[in-house]
Amino acid sequence: MPSIFSRIVSGDIPAIRVYEDHATLAFMDINPAARGHALVIPKDEHADLFSIPPETLAAVARTVQRVALAMREVLRPDGVNIIQNNGAAAGQTVFHYHVHIIPRWEGDNALRLWKPQAADQADLRTLAEQLGQALAR
């Protein structure tokens, strides 16, 4: 069964479209974290970062930048969150790769992703070594 986002691409479900090209679609989020919150998706359905082809990922990244630049011009936010979730544990609810572009203003408290805390340096070195080995394979 096609995802809700695939149904938006096909026109079966309405969306307020912001931008569209041959590979991507940007539209307004109907449950925004902040005024101007938009989503960018590939037109082809890919569940997550782990399954999207690199060339499609690059097309989405180009559209994200393009929409964020327009958002900065129109809304004049103090900052912008670019968020992409993979898996239910990370907050993904629609399993069609998508990127949130959320304008932010000082003091808006619209979104808090984590509470920074000091890491164990030995653990960081071990993880970095393990990741480096995986990348070398």
46 catalytic per annotation: no
Q: Which residues contact 20 (CB under 8 A, 6 or more apart)?
A: 26
Q: Indicate if the alpha-carbon torsion angle 48, 49, 50, 55 is positive or negative.
A: positive
Where would I find the beta strands (DSSP E) of the chain? 17-20, 24-28, 38-42, 79-83, 99-104
Catalytic residue among 46, 96, 98, 100: 98
Q: Distance between CA 54 and CA 110 in Å, rounded?
A: 31
Catalytically active residues are: 98
